């Protein structure tokens, strides 16, 4: 399969300043610290990790809402970080984002129809009738009605607002949609409906998704491959079936142990990780997971394990594997 987007040794550091009268630089928050992966055309890549692990930052750097500190984002062979503003503006229509908080991401003073029409207008569709036709079509595609276009975001439920966010993302016929925890705030039944909708849209419009979540159970059914992140790095990446059946990294194994199994005769022991996630300002030496790893060895404190291909399209960063 063909690569749509590639991320190469991506780093995003945020400088931290302290002091009241005089601000002084005290270090960097290493949100993303050397991450490489590809997203293949037509697939859904799940990106999973606890809050603060850097997964949303990766989404924002890909869309160039944030500039990377180091590394590259390559979309269809073009290095995005080298494009001019004008080139990037054209590129942006091909990459859209759906946010977790639909309330904050939809302008409360705009009618839904105008929210969806705005990107179409910016891309140069000047005929009002043509824009209205497209808006009606998109509302229908996401399971809303044309008359919803005349209403305001607060008149909708959380699940419906997420449909509006999806409609806005679809308005420009994007190739890639970054879904940043789009269902995390919703009830389970609504989550399932939206995930089904995203899957249908993917088939119909040949979309590629980067699906960000904090929980492995959410991405299980929608993802073709899954990457597990811990403290700014990817610990493990494999196709979904392989990852859920044959996890190799102790962190993935611990996360999977927390997912309840539907079959009550299968006994599963939950692995409770000790301690909290360390600060991304001063990440642990060697393997970043060593302060919490149930399998830690002495080498783990000194050497950062390489992210290695162990065959069968499966990558792991662990000295024991």
Binding stretches for Mg ion (CB under 5 A) = 56
CB of 303 to Mg ion, least distance (A): 30
For 222-273, the three-class secondary structure string (H helix, E strand, C coil) is CCCEEEEEECCEEEEEEEHHHHHHCCCCHHHHHHHHCCCCCCCCCCCCCCCC
Which one, 139 or 234, has the nearer CB to ligand SF4? Answer: 234
C-beta closer to Mg ion: residue 186 or 316: 186
Q: Which residue is nearest to Mg ion (CB)?
A: 56
Residue placing its CB nearer to ligand SF4 in the complex, 295 or 308: 295
Nearest approach, Cβ of residue 296 and ligand SF4 (Å):
4
Q: What's the CA angle centered on 308, arms 302 and 310, to 5 degrees? A: 130
Q: Which residue in 63, 236, 287, 307 binds ligand SF4 (CB under 6 A)? A: 287
Rounded-to-integer distance, Cα 189 and Cα 213, Å? 17
To ligand SF4, the closest distance from the beta carbon of 299 in angstroms equals 7
In 174-225, where does DSSP find H-type helix?
188-205, 216-219
Q: What are phi and psi of 215, to 5 degrees?
A: -140, 130
56 binds, among Mg ion, ligand SF4, none (CB under 5 to 8 A by kind): Mg ion
Among 15, 295, 309, 310, binds ligand SF4 (CB under 6 A): 295
For residues 215-274, which are near ligand SF4 according to CB under 6 A?
249-250
Is residue 287 classed as helix, strand or coil in its secondary structure?
Answer: coil
**Alpha-helix runs per DSSP H in 258-317:** 298-302
Provide the binding-site residues for ligand SF4, judged by CB under 6 A: 249-250, 287, 289-290, 293, 295-297, 300, 305, 318-320
């Amino acid at each position: 399969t063909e690569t749509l987007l590639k991320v190469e040794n991506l780093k995003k550091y945020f400088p931290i300043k302290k002091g009241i009268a005089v601000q002084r630089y005290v270090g960097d928050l290493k949100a993303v610290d050397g991450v490489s992966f590809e997203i293949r055309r037509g697939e859904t890549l799940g990106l999973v990790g606890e809050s603060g692990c850097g997964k949303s930052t990766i989404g924002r750097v890909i869309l160039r809402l944030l500039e990377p500190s180091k590394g590259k984002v390559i979309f269809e062979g073009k290095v995005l970080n080298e494009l001019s503003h004008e080139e990037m503006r054209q590129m942006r229509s091909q990459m859209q984002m759906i946010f977790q908080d639909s309330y904050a991401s939809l302008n409360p003073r705009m009618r839904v129809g105008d929210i969806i029409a705005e990107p179409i207008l910016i891309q140069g569709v000047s005929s009002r009738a043509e824009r209205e036709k497209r808006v009606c079509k998109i509302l229908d595609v996401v399971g809303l009605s044309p008359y919803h276009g005349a209403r305001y975001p607060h008149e909708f439920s959380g699940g419906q607002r997420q449909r509006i966010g999806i409609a806005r993302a679809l308005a420009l016929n994007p190739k890639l949609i970054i879904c940043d925890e789009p269902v995390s705030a919703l009830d389970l039944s609504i989550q399932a409906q939206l995930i089904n909708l995203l899957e249908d849209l993917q088939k119909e419009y040949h979309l590629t998704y980067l699906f960000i979540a904090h929980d492995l159970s959410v991405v299980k059914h929608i993802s073709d491959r899954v990457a597990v992140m811990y403290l700014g790095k990817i610990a493990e990446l494999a196709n979904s079936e392989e990852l859920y059946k044959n996890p190799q990294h102790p962190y993935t194994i611990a996360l999977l142990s927390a997912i309840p199994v539907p079959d009550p005769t299968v006994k599963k022991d939950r692995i409770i990780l000790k301690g909290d996630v360390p600060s991304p300002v001063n990440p642990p030496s060697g393997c970043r997971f060593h302060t919490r790893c149930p399998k830690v060895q002495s080498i783990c404190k000194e050497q950062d394990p390489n992210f290695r291909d162990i065959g069968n399209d499966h990558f792991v960063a662990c000295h024991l594997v």
